[in-house]
Structure 1
Amino acid sequence: MKHYRSLLTIILFTFKLGVGGANAQLVPEGSQQDPVKGLSLAKIFSSNMVLQQGKANAIWGFARQGEAVTIHFAGKVIKTKAGTDGKWKTILPVMDYGGPYTMRIEGDNRIELTNIMIGEVWACTGQSNMGLQVSSVDHSEQEIAGANYPKIRLFSVPSRLSQFPQDDLEGGHWVECSPATVGKFSGVGYFFGRALHQRLNVAIGLISSNVGGTSAEIWSSPDNMLQDPDFSGPVKKLQSIDLVKQKQDRVEHITRFAGEFPTKDKGLLGGVAVYAAPNLDISTWSNLQVPAAWDPLFVGVGWSRKEFMLTKEEALQPIEIHLSRIDDDDISYINGEQIGATLNVGDRVYRVPAQFLKEGRNLLTVRILNRSGIGGMCGKAEDMFILSSAGKQSLAGTWKFKLSEILQHGLDIQKNDYPTILYNGMISPLIPFGIRGIIWYQGEGNAGRAQQYARIFPNLIRDWRAHWGLGDIPFLFVSLANYTRPPLQPSESSWAEIREVQTATLALPNTAMAIAMDTGDGNLHPPNKQDVGARLALDALATIYHQHVVYSGPLYKSMAIVNGVAQITFNTMGSRLQSKDGDMDIRGFAVAGSDHHYYWAKAKITGDNTISVWSEEVKEPLTVRYAWADNPGSLNLYNDAGLPAIPFRTDNPIVIHP
């Protein structure tokens, strides 16, 4: 018991100090701003920044109560003073494109910012596909080497969770875009900004604020979520909890499950997989039903073991181990021999040579490291199996499990535990910095909750606009990329439903959407971010900067059934339908009759904006779907500007009102 108390003291002390990572920087009440030691600026302001052209930009900071603050900028002098709360704020003059400028801020001390440009400023927000860095995109070495754009300026917001809205960021500074700085910046953000800079020839400021694996409600403000029927309760709970006590409760919960609080993985010592040994005594291990997500508090390392049988004939030939989706990293073993290791979330398929197998009982062991959020073997039961010469043998069911290490940051509130915690820490401190608009790539984290997302997503847009106070600022977003394997037959799709919500959100003013379902390779994080950024830039060029470019693929308009054939009309926005690959058979359509059973359909372009769709299996079609799948496969319906048609269904589509 003495040891347990000592360990708990260490854990709680670590919490007070703070631990690195998005899941560890939860800021409790009362920590808005350290005691003011002198005049300072909010951290979004620094040398090399871009201020928004044509707007009266706000500037703010902190100072001694009542301290006089004077700003010298572009030949103007602006005076203000700090309030009783030690905060000051004022407005800079409206300016046209140009620079570089120097700004001097004077009070009890003096601050000087240099190399300031006036240009176009965009916030780059969302989850991991917005956060995927230039260093991880296709042709990354060439992209980084060619990133000499000193008039593009980059700002990366540090990851931070917060219990309440914050006044300032934890850090960050503006840098010029160069091969030395671009590698760790958002790929989508950079390619978007580069395209604007090349077309407009003005300075571009990009603010990257995103965290992987997050849902939209996490990025919404408390004002918004307190009005939401599903999330008002959790927000109230977040605002009332004692963070230190909650951490203590989590330590006790894990200790009850594991019999101890595991601080170091004893299953992998000096490169030796102790817990993969076939003769290991596992009588104290727990039973775990697989596939299933781990307990949300299990952020760390866990080992799972399962035995399976092979005949003599099966053991003489290689087999395949299909583990479906694992979150996050794994090392897998057969009979104590490593057969594969993979980083990051995704499906696992490992080929096992016959030399590792034996007749009779064989042992499969999987070591999983969950770095944050949900972890474990989280795929589908039908995708978990052994494939041998005799066929499939299911791996779903009861496994033996041991929790072997808990990462300290996992004891804190995690990024998806409560609504608002990323808005509080990573969006609120940016407001009301002057921006032209926002680009957004998110939705994966809300898959399976489309009806709810149809409320949350448009409300997030309205919410951010209201808080920024800049009117209906442009909000451009990405429709989800293709993910996993294409289906063999038409079926329901949670990702298609999210795409439908995104399309419906175009009903809001000053919105536009970039299609990405032809940019992926089936992985959760497709590396082709060039096309995504370029398509977002087309949205901006056409809708905000009034350039004469086609920015959208064909959008469903109407349907008429004539003699058993569905005649589909598209809004082609000044372009024409075409087959991208020249094949006159257009792929991706499915039709259903009164029984609502969908069959793959044939389709042919019949005009600049029309297409005919039919199936021999459905004599009297009633409804049509296009590209309705997590991964709709290789599609060829585009416009003559090279942009793909937007997915749709005619049966019960989600509708969003402006």
Structure 2
Amino acid sequence: MKKRIFLITILICNFGYSQIRLPQLISDGMILQRQTNIKLWGWASPNEKIQLEFNHKQYNAVASEEGKWTIQLPPQKAGGPHEMTFSASNKIILKNILFGDVWICGGQSNMELTMERVRDKYSDIISNANNSNIRQFKVPFKFDFEKPNDDFESGKWIVVNPENILEFSAVAYFFANEIYTKYKIPIGLINSVLGGSPAEAWISEDAIRKIPDYYNEAQKFKDKKLIEEIESKDKTINDNWYKLVNSTDDGLKNNWSSPEFDDKDWQKMNIPGYWADNGLGNVNGVVWFRKEFDIPKEKSGMTKLLLGRIVNADYVFINGKSVGTTTYLYPPRRYLFDSTLLKEGKNVIAIRVINNSGKGGFVLDKSYKLISGNDSIDLKGIWKYKLGAKMDALPSKTLIRWKPVGLFNAMIAPLINYPIKGVIWYQGEANTKKPAEYSDLMETLINNWRTYWKQGSFPFIYVQLANFMEVKSAPSESSWAELRQAQTNTLSVPNTRMAVAIDLGEWNDIHPLNKYDVGKRLALQAKKIAYGDKKIVSSGPLFKSMKQKGNKFILKFTNTGSGLVSKGSTELKGFSIANEDNKFIWAKASISGSKIIVWNSNILRPYRVRYAWADNPEEANLYNEENLPASPFEAKLSDNK
């Protein structure tokens, strides 16, 4: 009996192993790159014969001793839908296949940010979205420091419709829609991104070797035991911190969320704002907020609550009922609830805010209101608050997922057999602590990917960092400005383009909501570099060269389009100059044809010039007539030699 079971087990195992298998990418609804040789691949048993039927033709392959096989298809024109039938000991039929242009969408959170996050801003676009010729494959998050992976654990192609579009990268969707509208070619988006990820995480081990510190760090994390120890330690610290905060929170003990709770002895604070700037001081832990307000009968049916952004986590109650929670600081707070929850007369909103480090509270210049259709009730103003639990700051984690090489191995390597049109990239925020190395990192990354894809210098189009953080009144140093300069320098890599976003940011949000214009500017660059539209003006002014004439600089630019303009003012703003002592002061600037003249009468021999050199150069207003902004830059006289 045991022998019979053993033989059956062997037969089952052998049969299972012999099943032809395709990578996750090669699946129903995929978009394949048009007008190029296509490589289809998969796995089977050693020496197994595989047959593909496509467009009334047959293509054959034999699996290697390792069980790998490939089939080459000749170039195909754009269109579809098509079917493919793969046959071996089993059969796989793939349906609804299109040929078009495939773009890798890479980077960190501003590329990752989905249409769901901007649904209020683009509600009409979302509700009317219906285009099966734009599709996305979302690469699942994973890291691996040991070796390049050959497949993903999951993933599927989805088409644009009002439901699916919420899962699309907002930047990538707007980019794809611009391209499709112009050329009517199916667009496939392979979305391989991870919030907070630095550039070095997306570079292969052999390429990162040229940067010893990153290479050595990658070697360190090949030790799975080390990773397990770090993750276990971090989890224990995190779990214990939240366990303690929950067990000591007076608000939970005494039901401070109840509308009947007496809060007459609580302190008052203006919302939005941070409790560190008020009487409570800079403490970590739990702070509760309450606001009592009256609602007239005609507004009692409201169903949406907007609470801007809150640092870090929040639990929200209306009249004692929970309406939602958000566990980290970045997402906009948007809570939907039943129309019967609010009532005519007295109502109470209670918010439990947990802050584990830094300044806790409510981010300024955001919407805080109740909404129903066109009606709204503003919730800004005086709220009552009280400390629920005081805690030490939560120690920071070792974010292993962002270490060098790990994301390339798990989230890029499985893509390299899949022909593409090019790459759009939005990343850099995570590298602002070391901006001097960024241009070398990006040159390494771009060449690295081109080497692995073996498609030559395919287009690589990236977004320059948007404006962010508070505006400063005087010229100052800025690591964000330095990184933008590094991004500009990366244009020296062949077949690259940069979409400038210096006017699309928000001072109080690292994730600005205007993703339409970012996608549109990426598409403008793609139309020029990837689709050969030579007439299009795809960029704002880019600094080219300068010369000194007396106490003035005369600056030349490329991409001036129909002419240079000072947007919104007759006066050019955002320029500063310095002697060789590098002490910058604001400068006057004027347009002279296709040139800019910059000066300050207090500097007789200017040596350096900067434009829009700040975290948030809000006043910088140099554009071309096509309404595209000039890129920030720094230059010195010796650069011309």
- Normalised to the residue count of structure 1, the TM-score between the two structures is 0.74
1:512-552: CA deviation from partner (whole Å, max 9, x where unpaired): 11001111112100010100100111111111211121001
Counting only pairs closer than 5 Å after superposition, residues 271-310 of structure 1 correspond to structure 2 as 272-273=250-251
Q: Per-residue displacement from partner, 1:21-77 (whole Å, max 9, x unpaired)?
A: xxxxxxxxxxxxxx8461111101111111111110111111112211111112321
**Contact 1:323–1:347 at 8 Å: present in 2 too?**
no
* Residues 540 and 559 in structure 2, CA contact (< 8 A), matched pair in contact too: yes
Give the percent of matched residue pairs that are identical in Structure 1 and Structure 2.
Answer: 36
SS of 1:532's equivalent in the other structure is: helix
Aligned to 2:166: 183
Which secondary structure state, in structure 1, belongs to the residue aligned with residue 92 of structure 2? strand
Match of residue 574 from structure 2:
588
Which of 614, 618, 637 aligns to 1:629? It is 614
Distance between the aligned counterparts of 1:465 and 1:156, measured in 2? Answer: 21
Moved more, 617-626 or 217-226: 617-626
Aligned length: 526
How far the C-alpha of 1:617 sits from its partner, in A, is 3.3
Equivalent residue, structure 2, for 1:143: 125
**Partner SS, residue 267 of structure 1:** helix
How far off its partner does 1:229 sit? 2.3
Q: How far did residue 165 of structure 1 move? A: 1.1
The answer to whether structure 1 residue 98 and structure 2 residue 79 are counterparts is yes
> Which residue, 389, 392, 402 being the options, matches 1:401?
392
Q: In the TM superposition, what are the counterparts of 1:141-290 in structure 2 within 5 Å?
A: 141-163=123-145, 164-239=147-222, 241=223, 243-244=224-225, 246-248=227-229, 251=232, 262=240, 265-268=243-246, 272-273=250-251
Q: Deviation at 1:155?
A: 1.0
Asked whether the equivalents of residues 577 and 640 of structure 1 are also in contact (C-alpha less than 8 Å), the reply is yes
- Per-residue deviation, 1:135: 1.6
Q: State how far apart, in whole Å, the 2-side matches of 1:579 and 1:189 are.
A: 30
Change (3 A) 1:270 1:103: farther
**Counterpart for residue 549 of structure 2:** 562
For 1:468 and 1:109, locate their aligned partners in 2 and report how far apart those are by CA, in whole Å. 30
Q: How big is the alpha-carbon RMSD for the aligned residues of Structure 1 and Structure 2?
A: 3.3
CA distance in 2, matches of 1:186, 1:347: 15
Note the 1:102-141 alignment, pairs <5 A: 102-137=83-118, 139-141=121-123
- Match among 449, 455, 459 for residue 444 of structure 2: 459
Task: Give distance in 2, aligned partners of 1:139 and 1:254.
Answer: 36
Aligned residue identity for 2:472: P
Alpha-carbon distance in 1 for matches of 2:268, 2:68: 74
Where in structure 2 are there 5+ consecutive unaligned residues? 1-15, 256-266, 278-282, 292-306, 314-327, 333-351, 365-389
Whole-Å Cα distance in 1 between the matches of residues 625 and 552 of structure 2?
25
1:553 and 2:540 are equivalent in the alignment: yes
Asked whether the equivalents of residues 48 and 115 of structure 1 are also in contact (C-alpha less than 8 Å), the reply is yes
Amino acid paired to 1:525: H
Choose the corresponding residue for 1:74, options 55, 65, 70: 55
How far apart are 1:145 and its partner, in Å? 1.2
Residue 448 of structure 1: CA displacement?
A: 2.1
Question: Structure 2 vs 1, CA of residues 318 and 131 (structure 1 numbering), >3 Å: closer, same or farther?
Answer: closer
When residues 183 and 76 of structure 1 are mapped into structure 2, their CA distance, relative to the original with a 3 A threshold, is same
Matches within 5 A, 1:411-560: 414-416=400-402, 418-522=403-507, 523-547=509-533, 548-560=535-547
Q: Which secondary structure does the structure 2 equivalent of 1:268 belong to?
A: helix
Q: Distance in 2 between matches of 1:57 and 1:246?
A: 38
Q: Which runs of 5+ in 1 are unaligned?
A: 1-34, 278-314, 325-329, 349-364, 370-375, 384-398
SS at match of 1:561: strand
Residues 653, 129 of structure 1: CA spacing in aligned structure 2 closer, same or farther, 3 A cutoff? farther
Verify the 8 A CA contact 2:138 2:192 in the aligned structure 1: yes
For residues 98 and 549 of structure 1, the distance between their equivalents in structure 2, rounded to whole angstroms, comes to 26
Cα distance 1:194–1:632, how it changes in 2: closer, same or farther (>3 A)? same
Q: Is the 8 A contact 2:79 2:98 kept in 1?
A: yes
Give the Å deviation of 1:184.
1.3
Q: Secondary structure at the match of 2:488?
A: helix
**Which structure 2 residues correspond to residues 40-55 of structure 1 after superposition, within 5 A?**
40-55=21-36
- What residue number does 1:303 align with? none
Q: In 2, are the aligned partners of 1:637 and 1:645 still within 8 Å (CA)?
A: yes
Q: Is the 8 A contact 2:18 2:89 kept in 1?
A: no
Q: Distance in 2 between matches of 1:176 and 1:528?
A: 23
Distance in 1, Cα, partners of 2:628 & 2:188: 27
Residue 68 (structure 2) pairs with residue 87 (structure 1)? yes
CA deviation vs aligned residue, 1:384-425 (integer Å, no higher than 9, x gap): xxxxxxxxxxxxxxx961659x9xxx79x6212x21111111
